[in-house]
Structure 1
Amino acid sequence: MARSKEFDEAAVLEKAMLLFLDQGYEKTSMQDLVEHMGIHRRSLYDTFGDKHALFMRSLRLYKSKVDDRLGQAALNAPSALEGIRLVFRAMTDRAPEEPKGCLLVNTAVELGPRDEEAERLTDESFCKLEELLKLLIQRGQANGEIVNELDSQATAESLHTTLLGIRVLARTSAPKEKLLRIASVALSSLEKD
């Protein structure tokens, strides 16, 4: 007779995701995961598979949280410009107790070129964010709040690159004020005089 799980799978996956965000893939050992998730090693393997499979599930969880939460909030903002500002605030407004950085960016840098699945997941998320920014720029141009002369695709790519830089800097000891200044300069290029 099979034993029932003695843990909440979603809750322990969330714990694994946060540990990977804090330490990265390579630095996180199976023992770290067992201790942090609060489950037995056998349960970890039976439920999630090996470390790579657990990491991919953690990355998918993070990706869905970021893509869904950010996309919906930005699209539902009172204006296109406010939607773009909201995206930038999401990258700069972290509580001090939260792990620093972004699991997608960290994964792209750490694993991207040598792990096809990780590269595909990070690329999907990056493309989705660029498309969101492009849509918001076009919406803002149509309603007169964003400069019409800007190429929406090139501007979305530039804003996304700035967001990537902010996410990397967020992993360091860079002060929040610096991140806010970078965001402010990027956003000022969109606004009509």
Structure 2
Amino acid sequence: MARSKEFEENEVLEKAMKLFWEQGYEKTSMNDLVERMGIHRRSLYDTFTDKHTLFLKAMDRFRERIDTRLVAGVKQSESAREALRFVFSFIINGEEDSPPGCMCVNSAVEMAMRDADVDAKAIKAFTDTERLFAGIVSWGQQSGEFTKKYEATELAEYLHNAVTGIRVMARTSVPKEKLWRIAEFTMHILEPQDG
């Protein structure tokens, strides 16, 4: 008879995700993972195959978690400007009991040049973020909140670039006030221009 697992897979994956998010792939050892996840090394291999596979699953877990929260917050917003402010707030303030910054951005910087799987996941995450921004910008253009001088997709790429920089800076000791100044200026650029 097969022995039943003594852990819930999503719970231990969440712990691995936070560790990778905090430390990155290279700095995280198998011993670190076993200790943080609270499972035996054999169970880790039986369930997740190897460190690389676990890392890719952790990236997927991160994306599901963040995307769900971002989309929900945007849908609850009453205006495009409020939706955009929510996204910036989510990124600058982060989540309670989670590392700062973005696991996908961190992973892209650390590994995308030498790991095709990580590169593909990062590019997919970036594309999805730009799609979210394009939806917000289109909404704002239709409501008159945002300029129509540029295509929504162009402004979405610009917003994503600004957000990526903020996500990197959020991992440093840069004060949140500076991140908010960048966010406010970025949102100001979207306002309709007179004349």
Letter in 2 for 1:38: G
Structure 1 runs of 4+ with >4 Å offset: none
Correspondence for 1:117: 117
Query: Distance between the aligned counterparts of 1:188 and 1:4, measured in 2?
Result: 56
Counterpart contact for 2:74–2:83, Cα < 8 Å? yes
Q: Counterpart of 2:131 in 1: which secondary structure?
A: helix
Cα distance, 1:23–1:135 mapped onto 2, change above 3 Å: same
- State the TM-score, normalizing by the size of structure 2: 0.94
Letter in 1 for 2:57: R
Query: Distance between the aligned counterparts of 1:169 and 1:51, measured in 2?
Result: 27
Correspondence for 2:143: 143
Q: Counterpart of 1:67 in 2: which secondary structure?
A: helix
Percent sequence identity over matched residues? Answer: 48
Q: Deviations along 1:84-127, whole A, 9 cap, x unmatched? A: 11111111012575312110000111111211111111111111
Counterpart contact for 1:67–1:125, Cα < 8 Å? no
Q: Which residues of 2 match residues 32-181 of structure 1 at below 5 A? A: 32-94=32-94, 97-181=97-181
Q: Deviations along 1:159-185, whole A, 9 cap, x unmatched? A: 100000000001111111111111011
Superposition CA RMSD, Å: 1.4
Q: Counterpart of 2:113 in 1: which secondary structure?
A: helix
Letter in 1 for 2:189: S
Size of the alignment, in residue pairs? 193
**Deviation of residue 131 (structure 1)?**
1.2
Letter in 2 for 1:45: Y
Query: Distance between the aligned counterparts of 1:20 and 1:86, measured in 2?
Result: 26
